[in-house]
Amino acid sequence: MLAGLVALVRQGNEVTSDTLAHLGEVEDRLLHAELGYPSLHAYCVQALAMSEGAAGRRVAGARVCRRFPVVFGRVARGELHLSALCALARHLTAENAAELFDACAHKSRRQVDEWLAVRFPRADVKEQVRRLSIEPLSAGRFGVHFTADGELRDLIERARAIASHRLARRDLSALMRLVFAEFVAREEQRRFAVGSKRTVKLATSGVAAARVAAPPGGVRREYISASVRRAVYARDAGRCSFVARDGTRCECREFLELDHVRPWAWFGAASEENLRLRCRAHNQLHARRCFGRLRVTARVEGRAVSGLWRRGGARFRRTPGRQSGSAAERASAGPC
Ligand SMILES: [Zn+2]
């Protein structure tokens, strides 16, 4: 029986390696986006019924394998498990990969963490401070847990003092509700003109926030009226509007961008009919369908490709400060 168990574990390692290869290919081809999911993690959880933790480990593992194909064999042979790949992912570079893979081979997650804590002591602490968890307690009740540093604690105390006349008690949850509600209202007005009385405002973010009529040498920008942004946001109910062939609608509300149905580079209008809300994955999918994979990948990575993103004979620069695709993908990996 024990020999059979060992054989099953070996088979499992090989299956895991094959699974990572498939997941990497799905993400590379944006197949999860075609099916209506904003990220590979969402596809794993919702379509493949993985737990959030299992999905996060496999997504992180698949990305490590795509960057360093030698890892496929190490996973198949049982030298590196998914938890080790998760822990290693943010530290790997082309220069240190071989060293890190050798050092962490056949180690438990705890041993890997201890080794990394010595090798990269500050990065691990930083990541833990940022982590936030929301735990269901009962119907309509949730526990929110996070680690605050001294600066955040001081901000909370200042907010509680300033809002004391609006709060019946020194109730932290009431304060958080007040703060978040005002933040959401302000950001909805800033980005999508919700509740705004202004009729014209500058769009400054996203692929769709294209640029026109720039001063000589300056960044070109497109004006999208506040009424159009407000109408598009209301019509799409503040979420990505992508619908897959089987009717699955993307549920993403994060990293939303105003996307042109007919691309702005092809003289698509900044009208309510030609604009829609799209998450980053589905914005990228549409761009890839319109412009081809090579050009979209080059633009996301900030590389120059001849003739890319031209309109009216002019060449346009990348939006300043916009997060790169790879960084956004890292953010969507989910928990490990
Ligand atoms: Zn989407």
pLDDT tens sequence across 47-97:
999 999 999 999 999 999 999 999 999 999 999 999 999 999 999 999 999
Question: Is residue 238 domain-resident?
Answer: yes
Question: Is residue 125 domain-resident?
Answer: no
The answer, yes or no, to whether residue 318 has pLDDT greater than 70, is no
Shared-domain flag, residues 144 and 49: no
Extract the tokens encoding 110.
């705890």
Shared-domain flag, residues 89 and 21: yes
Query: Pseudo-torsion of CA 198, 204, 210, 213, nearest 10°?
Result: 70
Give 152 Cα–ligand 1 centroid separation in angstroms.
32
Give 282 Cα–ligand 1 centroid separation in angstroms.
5
Shared-domain flag, residues 143 and 211: no
Shared-domain flag, residues 66 and 138: no
Question: Is residue 201 domain-resident?
Answer: no
Last residue of a domain, one of 72, 94, 119: 119
Q: How far is CA 76 from the centre of its chain?
A: 29
> In Å, how far are 59, 199, 271, 289 from 264, measured between CA atoms?
33, 21, 11, 14
Give 256 Cα–ligand 1 centroid separation in angstroms.
8
Last residue of a domain, one of 119, 140, 155: 119
Give 334 Cα–ligand 1 centroid separation in angstroms.
16
- In angstroms, rounded to a whole number, what is the distance separating the alpha carbons of residues 85 and 161? 45
- What's the structural domain count of the chain? 3
- In angstroms, rounded to a whole number, what is the distance separating the alpha carbons of residues 260 and 47? 28
Shared-domain flag, residues 164 and 260: no
Domain that holds residue 290: 206-332
**Which of the four pLDDT bands, split at 50, 70 and 90, describes residue 301?**
low
Question: Is residue 166 domain-resident?
Answer: yes
Give 34 Cα–ligand 1 centroid separation in angstroms.
9
- Report the greatest alpha carbon distance in the chain: 77
The answer, yes or no, to whether residue 310 has pLDDT greater than 70, is no
Choice among 64-78, 123-137, 187-201 with the minimum mean pLDDT: 123-137
For the chain, percent of residues with pLDDT exceeding 90: 48
Give 217 Cα–ligand 1 centroid separation in angstroms.
34
Give 259 Cα–ligand 1 centroid separation in angstroms.
11
Give 171 Cα–ligand 1 centroid separation in angstroms.
36
Mean pLDDT of the chain: 80
* Structural contact between residues 292 and 281, judged by C-beta atoms closer than 8 angstroms: no
Shared-domain flag, residues 210 and 328: yes
Question: Is residue 324 domain-resident?
Answer: yes
Give 278 Cα–ligand 1 centroid separation in angstroms.
5
